[in-house]
């Protein structure tokens, strides 16, 4: 049986892990490769690095982090942030990433997903969707780190991403990100009901019950969290034990 994945996410800026609340108020949370090794040893199911600077200068830093992580951690690594073309995908895969996540570039032109999927396969192309509640039961895509509204409906865009070749969706609720109030479950459920590819729920995890809810109520295939793991609130084994006890299949 396939197991639900628990994915610690490392937001990276200038070679350091950082963490903000609602995409602002950023604090330093350590060395990314040291964190990656710790999560590898604890049995995390995947790792995710998000380059929140996404500048040309930071790109070299991300390649270096991918390479150093892949030398020490024999587990799947997803990298996102500032990915624009299939050339970026190729370079990140060569550096050591296993999956690459598109965000703003896919919103601007969903065909970039197709161009990348045709070359490297859908299985390594993730489409990150940052959505904000604009009305009850309606969510809209925001890009550029959450600063730019697009007017695009999140559920419609998820279907477009799937049709264009994305193999997975990384869904972040911008209302919840960094709040510890739990995933936006109506949003998560709306997306997982609409698409047939795996969805990673992200944004808002504060307790281990939130992780369970993302799967049992949101229908997610994987759950992503940052702060609760970085700041030592919970360990990966604690999260897995809690999910197992709640009847969610995990790799123990």
Q: Which residues bind another protein (CB under 8 A)?
A: 1-5, 40, 45, 66-67, 70-71, 74-77, 90, 93-96, 98-99, 117-124, 167-168, 195-199, 221-222, 251
Report the C-alpha gap between 204 and 177 in whole angstroms. Answer: 5
Q: Which residues pair with 13 in a beta bridge?
A: 16
Identified catalytic residue from 11, 51, 177, 213: 11
Identified catalytic residue from 45, 51, 88, 130: 130
User: Rounded to the nearest whole angstrom, what is the least distance from the CB of residue 109 to another protein in the complex?
Assistant: 20
User: Rounded to the nearest whole angstrom, what is the least distance from the CB of residue 184 to another protein in the complex?
Assistant: 20
> Which CB, 38 or 144, lies closer to another protein?
38
Report the C-alpha gap between 37 and 33 in whole angstroms. Answer: 6
User: Rounded to the nearest whole angstrom, what is the least distance from the CB of residue 103 to another protein in the complex?
Assistant: 19
> Which CB, 187 or 222, lies closer to another protein?
222
User: Rounded to the nearest whole angstrom, what is the least distance from the CB of residue 78 to another protein in the complex?
Assistant: 11
User: Rounded to the nearest whole angstrom, what is the least distance from the CB of residue 178 to another protein in the complex?
Assistant: 26
Burial class (CB in 10 A: 0-12, 13-18, 19+), 193: exposed
> Which CB, 92 or 107, lies closer to another protein?
92
Residue 11 tokens read as 């937001």
Report the C-alpha gap between 62 and 43 in whole angstroms. Answer: 23
- C-beta of residue 85 within 8 angstroms of C-beta of residue 93: no
CA 251 to chain centre: 19
> Which CB, 77 or 131, lies closer to another protein?
77
Alpha carbons within 13 angstroms on the beta-carbon side of residue 4 total 28
- C-beta of residue 119 within 8 angstroms of C-beta of residue 86: yes
- The verdict on whether 11 is a catalytic residue reads yes
- C-beta of residue 217 within 8 angstroms of C-beta of residue 6: no
User: Rounded to the nearest whole angstrom, what is the least distance from the CB of residue 149 to another protein in the complex?
Assistant: 29
> Which CB, 37 or 134, lies closer to another protein?
37
> Which CB, 51 or 168, lies closer to another protein?
168
* Residues tagged active-site: 11, 130
């Amino acid at each position: 049986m396939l197991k639900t994945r628990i994915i610690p996410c490392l937001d990276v800026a200038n070679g350091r892990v950082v963490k903000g609340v609602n995409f602002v108020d950023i604090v330093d949370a350590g060395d990314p490769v040291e964190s990656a090794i710790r999560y590898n040893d604890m049995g995390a199911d995947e790792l995710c690095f998000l380059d929140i600077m996404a500048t040309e200068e930071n790109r070299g830093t991300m390649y270096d982090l991918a390479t150093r992580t892949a030398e020490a951690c024999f587990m799947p690594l997803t990298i996102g942030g500032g990915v624009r073309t299939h050339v970026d995908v190729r370079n990140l895969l060569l550096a050591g990433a296993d999956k690459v996540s598109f965000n703003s570039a896919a919103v601007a032109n969903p065909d970039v997903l197709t161009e990348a999927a045709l070359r490297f396969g859908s299985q390594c192309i993730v489409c990150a969707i940052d959505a904000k509640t604009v009305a009850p039961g309606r969510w809209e895509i925001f890009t550029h780190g959450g600063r730019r509204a697009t007017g695009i409906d999140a559920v419609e865009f998820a279907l477009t991403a799937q049709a264009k070749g994305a193999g997975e969706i990384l869904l972040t609720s911008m209302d919840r990100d960094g709040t510890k109030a739990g995933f936006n479950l109506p949003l998560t459920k709306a997306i997982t009901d609409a698409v047939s590819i795996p969805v990673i729920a992200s944004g808002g995890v504060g307790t281990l019950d939130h992780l369970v809810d993302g799967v049992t109520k949101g229908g997610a295939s994987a759950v992503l969290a940052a702060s609760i793991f970085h700041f030592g609130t919970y360990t990966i084994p604690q999260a897995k034990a809690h999910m197992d006890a709640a009847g969610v299949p995990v790799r123990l």
